[in-house]
Amino acid sequence: TQLLEQSPQFLSIQEGENLTVYCNSSSVFSSLQWYRQEPGEGPVLLVTVVTGGEVKKLKRLTFQFGDARKDSSLHITAAQTGDTGLYLCAGEGTGRRALTFGSGTRLQVQP
Amino acid sequence: DAGVTQSPTHLIKTRGQQVTLRCSPISGHKSVSWYQQVLGQGPQFIFQYYEKEERGRGNFPDRFSARQFPNYSSELNVNALLLGDSALYLCASSLDPGRGAYEQYFGPGTRLTVT
């Protein structure tokens, strides 16, 4: 069974601060995706990383896939209140094409 | 273009009853997957269908079943509902699960409450 552990579970910061969310596993993933979910809505895809060591940037968000494709991080620079939400990482396992999700990091950005 | 649509939005059922949830994928997407998201947790994989055939099944009891129709829409059925089935049920569509990175696009979900 492939598991993804996310940390921290909860994060409350002030607007303008930087933060990093981690997603770790003992398993290798073919690809890893990050989603953001608002209350009562479905997850929205932010980015997909495929190659070990890959770094992708989406405005103030920087995503990195570990060299061994077992872990990933999401870094937000100068957080804004609009960044508030649940951030989920999800790994595509080898063999079966289903996503394994982490339990999420709930981010609250205070004005 | 319309995204993934799900119906109903909310549903309240009694223990022991049966429920059917519906999903329409993004136009051109041939694969539909179902996930269960319990409050405070990440989504858990239930089923994946591609071209009307089941391609994957998660660790859920036989009370859960699904099917995909020729127009690629899908239904998820849950029989003999338990209190623990209360959750947000998410449908996700994708182009072709056999090629490239497996990017899925989620609908807004159906909130099922079992009393």
- Compute the half-sphere exposure of residue A74: CA atoms within 13 Å on the CB side of its CA: 28
A57-78 pLDDT, tens digit per residue, is 999 999 999 999 999 999 999 9
Q: Distance, in angstroms, between A91 CA and closest chain B CA?
A: 9
pLDDT at B82 (0 to 100):
98
pLDDT at B44 (0 to 100):
95
pLDDT at B49 (0 to 100):
92
Count of A-B CB contacts under 8 Å:
69
pLDDT at B55 (0 to 100):
87
* Torsion angle (degrees, nearest 10) of CA B76, B82, B87, B88: 20
pLDDT at A93 (0 to 100):
76
The verdict on a CB contact (< 8 Å) between B103 and A33 is: yes
- The beta-carbon neighbor of A92 closest among B90, B101, B105 is B101
Residues of B in contact with A96 (CB under 8 A): 56
Q: Which residues contact A85 (CB under 8 A, 6 or more apart)?
A: A36, A37, A38, A106, A107
The verdict on a CB contact (< 8 Å) between B101 and A50 is: yes
Chain A residue closest in CA terms to B99:
A97
pLDDT at A60 (0 to 100):
97
pLDDT at B91 (0 to 100):
97
pLDDT at A90 (0 to 100):
94
The verdict on a CB contact (< 8 Å) between A97 and B102 is: yes
Residues of B in contact with A98 (CB under 8 A): 33, 45, 48, 56, 58
| Ranges of residues in chain A whose predicted pLDDT is under 70 | 1, 94-97
Domain ranges of chain B: 5-94
Architecture field, domain A5-110: Sandwich (2.60)
Per-residue pLDDT 10s for chain B (115 aa) are: 689 999 999 999 999 999 999 999 999 899 999 999 998 899 999 999 988 899 889 999 999 999 999 999 999 999 999 999 999 999 999 887 665 567 889 999 999 999 9
pLDDT at B2 (0 to 100):
80
Cα B26 to Cα A55: distance, rounded to the nearest angstrom: 28
- The CATH H-level (homologous superfamily) assignment of domain B5-94 is Immunoglobulins (2.60.40.10)
Backbone angles phi, psi at A86, to 5 degrees: -100, 120
Chain A residue closest in CA terms to B58:
A98
pLDDT at B99 (0 to 100):
59
Beta strand extents in chain A (DSSP E only): 5-7, 10-14, 19-24, 31-37, 44-49, 55-58, 61-65, 71-76, 85-92, 99-101, 105-110
| Strand-by-strand arrangement of the A5-7 sheet | A5-7, A19-24, A71-76, A61-65, A55-58
Domain ranges of chain A: 5-110
pLDDT at B95 (0 to 100):
82
Q: Distance, in angstroms, between B29 CA and closest chain A CA?
A: 15
Cα B76 to Cα B67: distance, rounded to the nearest angstrom: 7
